[in-house]
Structure 1
Amino acid sequence: MLKAYAAVGLGGALGAGLRHVIAMSAWQTLGPWFPWGTLMVNVIGSGLIAWLAAHALTHPQGHVSRWHHFWLAGFCGGFTTFSLFSLEALLLWQRGQAVLAAFYVLLSVSGWILGAYVGHILASQKHRH
């Protein structure tokens, strides 16, 4: 059990670190007017976790299961962030940018679902061949 906690902790640290790098890069490149970094990591993370989950289903006791805690709970959990998304949407709203806040929410939720769908499809296609 201790190995699982260590795997989650290490994966979470790496995921959160990469999220920070992507968010800061997006902020520097695209500017602070819209939370592009959070949007990107959440869509990518949705696709990755769906891909990993679908892949894991094809190997219930195999190699993937040893990395389950690291990748799914750890890395993807640290990489994606619902709490920051919520705060950013609220801040846009409070700044009088209600249309931009609504756009952010709609784009995020649809992006997460599309990302998860694409990740699942990619993993499913890989295992059909």
Structure 2
Amino acid sequence: MSPGTVLLGALLVGIGGGAGSALRWWLRDLGMREAARRYRNGDVRVKPWLTFFVNVLASFLLGLIVARLGSSAAGAAELGYLVLAAGFCGGLSTLSTAALDVVELMRRAGFAIAVSYLLLSVGTSMAMLWLGVVIAS
């Protein structure tokens, strides 16, 4: 790979990642504001599920993208993959926040709830990735 190609790839991943991260922030902010409006202590109850939602959404979109463009695409498809899969879906999903949610759930709600949330998050995300691949194929 030439230095120009690597630089272009990094730029495309950065652009897509920035857009995905901005969408994640906006969805979470919207959800937190709505929870605060509707429920007392809504942020505590809703926060992990907002992370769950964006991770599941990102997994589904990644399945669609990989099925359409392939994970080892070349040419224009590779550029699309970099922007959409590595960038946008990578920025939209968030393992670190999910991990923090599990730790907070363990502290507040106990081990069983935290592990259940973790398993549900991973299992649902995997299922949605598979569904995206099936739908797009």
TM-score normalised over the length of structure 2? 0.81
The CA RMSD over aligned residues, in Å, is 2.0
Matches within 5 A, 1:70-85: 70-85=83-98
Equivalent residue, structure 2, for 1:54: 67
Aligned sequence identity (%):
31
1:29 aligns to 2:34 (yes or no): yes
Q: Which amino acid aligns with 1:9?
A: G
In the alignment, is residue 7 of structure 1 matched against residue 20 of structure 2? Answer: no
Farther-moved stretch of structure 1 (101-110 vs 69-78)? 101-110
Unaligned runs of 5+ in 2: 1-5, 36-41
Count of residues paired in the alignment: 124
TM-score relative to the length of structure 1: 0.85
Which of 106, 116, 121 does residue 129 from structure 2 map onto?
116
- Structure 1: give runs of 5+ residues left out of the alignment: 125-129
